[in-house]
Amino acid sequence: MSRRSLLRAAGAGAAGATLAACGVPAAYVEPGDRAGRDYSAGDHTLHFANWPLYIDTDDEDESRRPTLDAFGERTGISVAYTEEINDNDEFFGKISPALMNHQQTGRDLVVISDWMAARFVRLGWVQEMDRGKQPNVAKYLDPQLRSPAFDEGRTHSVPWQSGITGIAYNRGKLGREIKHTSDLWASDLRGKVTLLSGLDESFALLMQGNGVDITRWKSDDFHDVCDQVEKLVKSGHIRRFTGNDYIKDLSTGDVLACQAYSGDVIQLQADNPEIEFVVPEEGAELWAESLMIPNLARHKRNAEKLVDYYYEPEVAAELATWVNYVCPVPAARDVLASSKDAETAALAEDPLIFPDDGMRERLAIARDITSDERAGFAKKWNAVVGL
pLDDT digits (tens, 9 = 90+) for 287-323: 999 999 999 999 999 999 999 999 999 999 999 999 9
Q: What pLDDT is attached to residue 16?
A: 44
**Read out DSSP for 314-334?**
HHHHHHHHHH-SB-S-TTHHH
- 381 Rama class: left (phi>0) / alpha (psi -120 to 50) / beta: alpha
- Distance separating alpha carbons of residues 301 and 92, to the nearest angstrom: 24
Residue among 351, 175, 198, 173 nearest 260 (CA) = 198
Closest CA relative to residue 327, chosen from 310, 302, 339, 308: 310
Q: How many CB atoms lie within 10 A of CB 174?
A: 18
DSSP state of 348: T
Q: Which residue blocks in the chain are alpha helix, DSSP H?
A: 14-22, 66-75, 88-100, 114-123, 135-140, 171-174, 199-209, 219-234, 246-252, 262-271, 300-309, 313-323, 332-337, 342-347, 357-360, 371-385
Predicted confidence at residue 26, as pLDDT, reads 63
Rounded distance, CA 353 to CA 329, Å? 10
Cβ burial of 236 (10 Å; 0-12, 13-18, 19+) is exposed
Closest of 365, 369, 4 to residue 200, by C-alpha: 369
Residue 4 has pLDDT above 90, yes or no: no
Q: Return left, alpha or beta for 151; rule: phi > 0 is left, psi -120 to 50 is alpha, else beta.
A: beta
State how far the Cα of 173 lies from the Cα of 83, in Å rounded to an integer: 37
- The whole-angstrom separation of Cα 136 and Cα 140 is 6
Our measurement of the distance from residue 59's CA atom to the centroid of its chain's CA atoms, rounded to an integer in Å, reads: 25
The predicted model gives 196-216 an average pLDDT of 96
Phi–psi pair at 273, nearest 5 degrees: -65, -10
Angle at 18 between CA 14 and CA 22, to 5 degrees: 170
DSSP conformation class of 126: B
Is it the case that residue 1 has pLDDT exceeding 50?
no
- Of the candidates 176, 169, 180, the one whose C-alpha atom is nearest the C-alpha of residue 284 is 180
Tens digits of per-residue pLDDT, 41-65?
999 999 999 999 999 999 889 889 9
Average pLDDT across the chain, whole number? 92
Element (H, E) at 275: strand 275-278
The tens digit of pLDDT for each residue in 368-384 reads 999 899 999 999 999 99
pTM above 0.85, yes or no: yes
Q: What is the DSSP letter of 95?
A: H
